[in-house]
Amino acid sequence: MTLGGFLLLMLIAGLCGSLAQAIAGYSHGGCLVSIVLGFIGAILGTWIAQQLGLGEILAIQVGGRSFPIVWSIIGAALFVAILNLLSSRRYG
């Protein structure tokens, strides 16, 4: 993979991660957190899709590899929602 392809992949992952943060209502962190969430979401979302027997939806080819946009957003939103549930402070 070339440097340009890698930077494009990071940009796409960052956009997916930031969309997932907006959906889940999580706004902590910056650009690097969004990029990491995008990659985690791609892994988690693809795994969930495979377990349910679903195909890739809106996958982009970057450097000979496929990046699933929709599954990345869904997986990252689920991951962020779980993190919010686990890390929420309980007052009582």
> Residues 3-52: pLDDT tens digits?
888 888 889 888 888 988 888 887 777 888 888 988 898 899 999 999 99
Distance CA 39, CA 36 (A): 5
Find tokens 């940009």 and name the residue: 11
The mean per-residue pLDDT over the stretch 47-74 comes to 88
DSSP string, 44-77: HHHHHHHHHT---SSEEEETTEEEEHHHHHHHHH
Domain boundaries, the chain: 3-87
